[in-house]
């Protein structure tokens, strides 16, 4: 009895998350279409129907001005239909009879509303829950000590003057040598020293002399970390630093047991009797984790815009990676993947939901501005061509291109989901 009740509650929880996920998706698309609707009303376009959802009508009401408001059965989209959008129409208020600049505003307004809603929701999320920031979880024991200017608990705030908003920006901004700012104990700290990336480990590969401080003895595969107090972090540093040294130098060695010792050795002996093998370590020598952090009011407002812009750049980089083959098709998903992911996020609580709403809103805004048939970006291209030429491209051809593009796009998204099953 108890097990049956628990199973029933689990099913209800999953179902509730699924419904909530659909509501989030429907709200996001409705916001997009509402942007088209509001701008169309302000610019006096003839609007045929504003629909929440797709498919058969569940509810429909016709206003006095002839506009239809409807709710449809499939909560996977929506639309704002304008008169004369894909065909000839003699009405002055028809979409294609309006001035090009007006049409561009209406077409752009859907994406603009997504961006505006993302900024508003992001502001609320940052104010209520704080911002998710990247935190140094640990510094590798094998990293050169100069990288230990980073400490556990440091929040990565800025790299080479660029603020870090997302995980992607952290990896995107890293370079061979970086000046980093962190938040440490609530204060912004500029680290003393340059943090290196892809640094070199210098290991003893053959040795023809004794190197010892009396207790520790250097052996093959021990690591040489310093010469005269300078770290070996780049290719050929071993020979370069020895050539700069005097007759003797201070050699620092870390044994395979982790013991570090420093000993004075004749420079010429090191050059002639010790061979060093270099191995490259890819990364900053740290692991990261995440936590929420509350910035001040004005900085939070500024970071909201930076965060949303960084998300938009991430979407563009992902799309670019798909075109060049740098990113596999498994990195994206169609409607089934989106619904599944939204359902999972919805089960994790309100903070995850609002954060995901921001990501999806920016994603939808950017995606719709792409010059792909059936999307707003392609329609904007047709309007711009018409504006430059002084006359439109054949409306029937434009309509056919957008119709074919719509079916190709839907088919492609479904196929992506099927291939991932």
The pLDDT mean for the chain works out to: 83
Q: In whole angstroms, what is the distance from residue 316 CA to residue 370 CA?
A: 10
For 234-293, the pLDDT digits (tens) are 888 899 999 999 999 999 998 988 888 999 999 999 999 999 998 887 777 777 888 889
Length of the chain in residues, anyone?
421
Q: Say what the pLDDT of residue 420 is.
A: 61
Q: What is the mean pLDDT of residues 93-115?
A: 93
What's the predicted TM-score (pTM) here? Answer: 0.74
- Superfamily of domain covering 199-281: PDZ domain (2.30.42.10)
Mean pLDDT over 416-421 rounds to 64
The pLDDT value given to residue 107:
95
Percent of the chain surpassing pLDDT 90 = 29
Q: Is the CATH code 3.40.47.10 the one for domain 131-196+284-293? A: no
Q: Which pLDDT band holds residue 109 (cuts at 50, 70, 90)?
A: very high
**CA dihedral of 227, 230, 234, 240, whole degrees rounded to 10:** -50
State pLDDT tens for residues 309-357.
888 888 888 777 767 766 666 656 666 666 676 667 666 777 777 888 8
118 near 365, Cβ under 8 Å?
Answer: yes
Buried-state track 258-267, b at ≥16 Cβ within 10 A, e below 16: eeebebebeb
**pLDDT (tens digit per residue) in 364-406:** 899 899 888 888 999 999 999 999 998 888 878 888 888 888 8
* pLDDT surpasses 50 at 5: no
CB 303 within 8 A of CB 126: yes
Domain extent listing, the chain: 2-128+314-419, 131-196+284-293, 199-281
Enter the DSSP assignment of 212: B
Confidence of residue 419 (pLDDT cuts 50, 70, 90): low
To which H or E segment does residue 182 belong? strand 180-184
Domains 131-196+284-293 and 199-281 share a fold: yes
Q: What's the pLDDT score for residue 103?
A: 94
Higher pLDDT, 18 or 292: 292
* Confidence grade of residue 6 (pLDDT, cut at 50, 70, 90): very low
DSSP string, 243-288: HHS-SEEEEEEE-TTS-EEEEEEEHHHHHHHEEEEEEEEPS-SEEE
């Amino acid at each position: 009895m108890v097990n049956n009740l628990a199973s029933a509650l689990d099913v209800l929880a999953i179902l509730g998350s699924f419904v909530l996920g659909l509501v989030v998706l429907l709200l996001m698309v409705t916001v997009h279409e509402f942007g088209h609707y509001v701008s169309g009303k302000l610019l006096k376009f003839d609007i045929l129907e504003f629909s929440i959802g797709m498919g058969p009508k569940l509810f429909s009401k016709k206003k006095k001005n002839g506009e239809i408001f409807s709710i449809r059965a499939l909560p996977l989209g929506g639309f704002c239909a304008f008169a004369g959008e894909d065909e000839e129409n003699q009405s002055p208020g028809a979409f294609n009879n309006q001035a090009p600049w007006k049409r561009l505003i209406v077409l752009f307004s859907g994406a603009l509303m997504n961006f505006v809603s993302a900024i508003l929701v992001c502001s609320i999320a940052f104010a209520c829950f704080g911002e998710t920031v990247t935190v140094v979880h640990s510094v590798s024991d094998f990293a050169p000590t100069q990288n230990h200017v980073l400490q556990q608990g440091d929040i990565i705030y800025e790299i080479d003057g660029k603020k870090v908003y997302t995980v992607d920006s952290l990896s995107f901004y890293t370079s061979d040598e970086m000046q980093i700012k962190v938040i440490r104990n609530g204060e912004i700290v500029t680290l003393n020293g340059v943090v290196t990336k892809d640094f070199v480990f210098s290991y003893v590969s053959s040795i023809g002399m004794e190197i010892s401080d009396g207790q520790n003895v250097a052996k093959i595969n021990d690591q040489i970390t310093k010469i005269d107090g300078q770290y070996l972090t780049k290719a050929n540093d071993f020979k370069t630093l020895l050539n700069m040294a005097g007759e003797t130098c201070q050699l620092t060695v870390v044994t395979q047991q982790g013991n570090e010792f420093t000993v004075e050795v004749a420079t010429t002996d090191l050059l002639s009797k010790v061979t060093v093998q270099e191995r490259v370590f890819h990364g900053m020598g740290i692991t990261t984790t995440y936590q929420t952090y509350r910035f001040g009011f004005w900085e939070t407002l500024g970071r909201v815009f930076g965060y949303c812009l960084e998300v938009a750049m991430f979407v563009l980089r992902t799309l670019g990676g798909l075109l060049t083959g740098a990113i596999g098709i498994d990195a994206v998903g169609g409607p089934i993947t989106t619904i599944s992911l939204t359902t999972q996020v919805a089960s994790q609580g309100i903070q995850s939901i609002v954060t995901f709403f921001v990501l999806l809103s920016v994603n939808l805004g950017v995606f719709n501005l792409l010059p792909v048939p059936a999307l707003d970006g392609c329609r904007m291209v047709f309007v711009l061509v018409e504006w430059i030429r002084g006359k439109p491209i054949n409306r029937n051809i434009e309509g056919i291109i957008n119709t074919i593009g719509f079916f190709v796009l839907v088919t492609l998204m479904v196929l992506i989901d099927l291939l991932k099953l």
